[in-house]
Structure 1
């Protein structure tokens, strides 16, 4: 779907579904992707959708009220053509910013970015909104995503709108993801991801559970419309690197990461609607920190001294005009504050990553999944690089972070495969399901005066500040000293594909979501008994109990079915992370 198409209010879609005749709703349930094949044309003032006999007219921007929509059909606006177009648009919650609105800055200082957030007491109206969304999602599970129609969608849309109106921002955002994922599966879209939709549904249930059953609750379960800025005192900000941001929802840009002298990682970014080329443009464009505007390329390599700095809970630096920040020259990865990160044992870094893995995304700190490695390139294994850490016996696979052709990740890793023995410092993102796979984001020479002149090394332009931002900076052949003419491809087997012992539970969990609790296909009791026995023998007694509960959940709508679904999601996620961490540390 084009990012330039209008977005639509969830409340409007719900109103249109409820006011449209039953026969129109049934027709749309039979062909949920009908509007995908229609001819969408953007004009100067409006969008025109040719349906093959009628024309639907939509405004640019955000559609809030029915008066903004027109159709040449006699039944307009309560016709199939209008409803098909509206349900094809991205549902969004758009606020009208006030001209006098200022950045929200909290008054408390120092430990503002701790993972443990302030506690809040939800209002009764908020609990009621959370209850309605939980009920709507439970109903979706009862009928099944594959069989859900526009009436179920209307209930979800109403509940999402109410959550947003009551300030339950996290639930509203998760609800929109559930609606989008459900629509993709019903339309058989290539991007449909049943596993991710099951996770999103479980997240809604888990968040609703906290809002309804805990007094008080951590603030991140409520969420915020705009990230609240709190005073921080990192003193100096050491630029680390810049990373391209390209999302499936049509946004692109650049993010820059800094290491503060308080030991925390901070970020600043410029992300806007656009294609992947927008990321490259943002790298050379301006990013704002307080009154200072510099390119991401420059920020990633600079050292900054700041006072009155602010940041959100996840480490995003504020843009308030009271901030004072000045550049103090270039940053260096050999500075003690940064060098200490590379000296940390890899198992300790993994433990720090997994400690935050279960924390809601809104509460995760910037760079929470980064690892700092030092070692040498051994060669290529397919599209990946085999990397030998200095203090580790086992190797690390360096994988491509983003395959977009407008970014430099793939080509840069290919160029580095020409330099076996090249000793590097690497900052990368851990693959949570296989921590020995790391997506490198930036690299630099590993300082070692004892190396022979014949050994490969990087000779980078001075403007690069001694590092390569792998998504943006294109590594040229003459930047690699003593490299080989051809890539060194190693005959090394890939990582063993270990069968997931919880596979039967995961398959039943996703099947329950797709087919519905009330209409699950009959499963052989012998098969369920055999699978639960296997889980018990493997030490997954809780998994066996959950599998049995999913297979025999009553068909009625209620807390038993939704709680079982949510508990299964949490159990599968926790086991996957713990098993991955154990496998990795076992070989260290």
Structure 2
């Protein structure tokens, strides 16, 4: 649970304030957070101080520096118990988690200078996340050749930090989302801070994504997805385990450590064609948009404008000029126009730098049906899906015929038929300030319509994507997160098609690995103890489906959840949280691999 508009708070600040509470106040913290979330919140425009009214006589203030709360003293309460009151801890818990010293994420410096921290997202992003986010995944897999941007650290320091991350994550997994209150979250934030100080930037960011996911789940955020939180926790536990067992070989831990800053390389001159603009709204309090472009070879480039803010900024920044050279193009205009860039600098993920030496002028754009952009839609779907799984952008270019609405376990989704593949279209972001859901609902009312889509791959089976932009039969292009479609934009229904969408189609059976994945997610939501009530017939069902490894893993997970030894006096000993976390990690990794393999097959016509 977070309150929109509050300034981000550094992880160690939240952890320090929460850890300073007495046991009695710590038990009251979650109730205090819920109470404070409902109280009036104001901002002093002159000083930038955020003020939440605790009651008629007391206020808690957050005093950010450059938009971020960097010290415990910057959170002040004027109640009689301050600074040992619960209100300061509640305010810190309500505020978004700051990933780093917040800078304008569109203002990348020159390549030789330090650039901005990677924003939290996912499709997300992200996702999303990671993460209840939109935008491309913010933390792509670093290559083993990447070197950390900080000096080398002692391996012992890495081991200590990895152990802190593992322990905090295992405790959170034991309690589950339902039991992971502010104190458990603060423990993971403390571990994230320890990891960052030790130079473990990738696992520190993963820990923050987990905290954001837990907060979104506990706050009933409509954009929360349990599967995405499970993937974030899987990444965190996997990295922490690998770092704790990788020995002293620096090369073995280079990819696991990650990098703190994005680096930019010289790219010379670029001729770019606008594709679409995607609104970005992250769980870390950042918002804005990313305009996607492509060159004549089909290489994708991003022009971002992301900074602290909410849904209003995500919608409004699309009408601001792009920060690239002296061009006066807005993001909306660039999405349909072209751009010539000289002295370009490009990050590994395709993000364009905006240093002083970069120059850009407007040029003619191209329709999606014209060269060179039309070549993006000519790549076979299986090849596109394989590229999207490896790429941080995850984009697919689809020629689709809209079908009916399909009833599934998690609700209803729109079906589209693409080159012999039946694809589910899912909502990219559920925030009501963005137009994704209502646009998808309107498209569902026009079955039989042929459209061109740009969508982001959802790693799942059957084939599933999140549509981001559409070209209708009229030739009009729309950004589905920003533009609100009307019935007048869609073709007139034919007599055979009828005016209304057909009723929901029969649902499809879940994938064979679903029983294991369900227990993985169930334990994450309700905690380890929830697995003690699992049905005993699921493992035999997995064996009958030809998945003996899944059956063995499920049996091991249930045993680890129920395993409680006894001390010499016959009393129940504490549960082995390390063993349960290791088994849970093995199950989660297995389901990811099986899902990816099945997803690969799903994109073959």
TM-score (norm 1): 0.79
Residue in structure 1 matching 2:469, options 432, 437, 442: 442
Q: Does 1:560 align with 2:576?
A: no
Q: Does 1:469 align with 2:475?
A: no
* 2:341 match: 306
Change (3 A) 1:387 1:24: closer
Residue in structure 1 matching 2:524, options 493, 502, 513: 513
* 2:58 match: 55
Change (3 A) 1:326 1:210: farther
Mapped contact 1:235–1:261 kept (Cα < 8 A): no
1:415 to partner: Cα distance: 7.1
Deviations 1:274-324 (A, max 9, x none): 443433422221112345452112222233343432222211111122234
Secondary structure of residue in 2 paired with 1:330 = coil
**Could you list the runs of 5+ residues in structure 2 that have no partner in the other structure?**
115-139, 564-573
Residue in structure 2 matching 1:83, options 70, 80, 89: 89
Deviations 1:317-376 (A, max 9, x none): 11122234444422343444422222222233233334x2xxxxxxx333x2x2223355
* 1:359 match: none
Q: Does 1:9 align with 2:10?
A: yes
Mapped contact 2:142–2:255 kept (Cα < 8 A): no
Secondary structure of residue in 1 paired with 2:554 = helix
Deviations 1:418-459 (A, max 9, x none): 8777654433333432565544433447xxxxxxxxxxx526
1:547 to partner: Cα distance: 0.9
Separation in 1 of the partners of 2:177 and 2:194? 22
* 2:79 match: 73
Change (3 A) 1:88 1:501: same
1:534 to partner: Cα distance: 1.5
Q: Does 1:458 align with 2:474?
A: yes
1:55 to partner: Cα distance: 1.3
Q: Does 1:549 align with 2:556?
A: yes
1:239 to partner: Cα distance: 1.9
Separation in 1 of the partners of 2:416 and 2:447? 9
Change (3 A) 1:316 1:20: same
* 1:227 match: 262
Secondary structure of residue in 1 paired with 2:323 = strand
Separation in 1 of the partners of 2:61 and 2:100? 17
Change (3 A) 1:28 1:416: closer
Residue in structure 2 matching 1:278, options 287, 292, 313: 313
**Could you list the runs of 5+ residues in structure 1 that have no partner in the other structure?**
108-112, 357-363, 446-456, 461-466
* 2:233 match: 201
Separation in 2 of the partners of 1:184 and 1:480? 35
Structure label with greater radius of gyration: 1
Deviations 1:77-125 (A, max 9, x none): 1123333333333232442779x99433499xxxxx9974524486323
Mapped contact 1:430–1:437 kept (Cα < 8 A): yes
Separation in 2 of the partners of 1:185 and 1:437? 23
1:19 to partner: Cα distance: 2.7
Mapped contact 1:170–1:224 kept (Cα < 8 A): yes
After the TM superposition, which residues 352-431 of structure 1 pair with which residues of structure 2 at under 5 Å, given as runs? 352-354=387-389, 356=390, 364-366=391-393, 368=394, 370-374=395-399, 387-389=416-418, 392-393=419-420, 396=423, 401-402=428-429, 424-431=451-458
Q: Does 1:571 align with 2:590?
A: yes
Change (3 A) 1:293 1:548: farther
Kindly tell me the number of residue pairs found equivalent between the two proteins. Answer: 547
* 1:340 match: 375
Deviations 1:19-59 (A, max 9, x none): 32222223336765343344444445444433347513313
* 2:191 match: 159
Secondary structure of residue in 2 paired with 1:91 = coil
Q: Does 1:580 align with 2:583?
A: no
Separation in 2 of the partners of 1:419 and 1:15? 54
Mapped contact 1:168–1:223 kept (Cα < 8 A): yes
After the TM superposition, which residues 183-198 of structure 1 pair with which residues of structure 2 at under 5 Å, given as runs? 183=215, 194-198=226-230
Secondary structure of residue in 1 paired with 2:552 = helix
Q: Does 1:268 align with 2:295?
A: no
1:380 to partner: Cα distance: 8.2
Give the CA RMSD over aligned residues. 4.0
* 1:132 match: 164
